[in-house]
Structure 1
Amino acid sequence: MLRADTRVIAADGATLPQIGDKITDKSAPPDDGAVREWIGPEVSGHWAELRNWIGEFYPGVFAPDWLYGGKNRGWSLRYKKTRAFVTLVPEYERFSTLVVMGGAEREKFEERRYVWRPQLVKLYDDAKTYTDGKWLTVAISSADDLHDVMELLTLKRPPLPHSNSTSRSPRKTSSR
């Protein structure tokens, strides 16, 4: 079976990136500027907000760690203590998050099944379940997607007690 190649070739012969392409230069992990340029200005705001939110609500808990997954998976930024909390995957003009939902998290998700946005429930239902849990990949392209991920992470691990009551927190699912 032949497959048409839909890659766009620039005048200089270089292949132009397509939406969803990963950062695959394995020589060094990308810095903040490279990630911002790769995912684009609008999406980089969501990237920064999620990273800041994790730092604010889980201070000192996670040390973000860049992982190289090969030429197909590229670079990803994992937040982990003993188990993975969330992995952020910068992609061309977007980014995705990977949240592994263990048994307890799946029970909590199911208890609130009809409160979540339908798009998230469909992602959850379509996600494959492995022995270590359900691997849920959520593409972040809007504030709603970002808040869904924040709620999933709160479900996975409640934030540490916080003295600043005016801080951003995920909106309540009961308000939907």
Structure 2
Amino acid sequence: MEQSPQIGDRITEKSGPPDENTVRDWMGPKRFVQWAELRNWIETYYPAVFAPDWLYGGKKRGWSLRYKKSKAFCTLLPEYRQFSVLVVLGRAERDKFEERRYGWRSQLVKLYDEATTYPDGKWLTAAISSAADRRDVTELLTMKRPPPPRS
């Protein structure tokens, strides 16, 4: 007997990357709106910079959508009835974060303080359930890599 998905479970069907309908059904319509808004923001502010790439992390981690050029920008994690974004902050980005520590929302600072620091950086996973959460992530991403000048 197959177990029903639990909140936060990942899409683990390994036959191929999920399509938009699968992602929408898995996350639910409210979270999918946040997903689509963040993807649109990346396309608008970083046109033709990133080619999103679906990665399969195995049965435990499932599918994720990575934005990367030479360095990772962010990874979108479609989860059951949730949506999270992973941002890895290297030394320079952590210094920038600390300079602005009191300008960030308290929820983001708490997340930052609790995130594990690995040799390649601090791995911050932020759940996105509102426009304010999404704004935190877009500000973090803008700090990490300023958008190219618009023509």
Task: Tell me, yes or no, whether TM beats 0.5.
Answer: yes
Which of the numbers 94, 115, 123 marks the counterpart of 2:111?
123
Name the residue aligned to 1:40.
28
Name the residue aligned to 1:155.
143
SS of residue in 2 equivalent to 1:21: coil
SS of residue in 2 equivalent to 1:149: helix
- 1:6-55 deviation line (CA, Å, top 9, x unaligned): xxxxxxx4421111010000001000110011000001000000001001
Shift of 1:162: 2.4
Instruction: Output the amino acid matched with 1:109.
Output: F
Number of residue-to-residue matches in the alignment: 151
Shift of 1:97: 0.5
Name the residue aligned to 1:67.
55
Identical-pair percentage: 70
SS of residue in 1 equivalent to 2:26: helix
Name the residue aligned to 1:10.
none
Instruction: Output the amino acid matched with 2:92.
Output: A
Name the residue aligned to 1:143.
131
Normalising by structure 1, what TM-score? 0.84
Normalising by structure 2, what TM-score? 0.97
Summarize the alignment of residues 9-28 of structure 1 with structure 2, pairs less than 5 Å apart: 13-28=1-16
Give distance in 2, aligned partners of 1:52 and 1:26. Answer: 26
- 1:40-89 deviation line (CA, Å, top 9, x unaligned): 00010000000010011001110000000000000000000011000001
Name the residue aligned to 1:49.
37
Task: Give unmatched runs, 5+ long, in structure 2.
Answer: none
Q: Give the ranges of 4+ consecutive aligned residues of structure 1 lying more than 6 Å apart after TM superposition.
A: none
Q: Which has the higher helix share?
A: 2
Give distance in 2, aligned partners of 1:161 and 1:85. Answer: 17
Over aligned residue pairs, what C-alpha RMSD do you find?
0.9
Summarize the alignment of residues 80-91 of structure 1 with structure 2, pairs less than 5 Å apart: 80-91=68-79
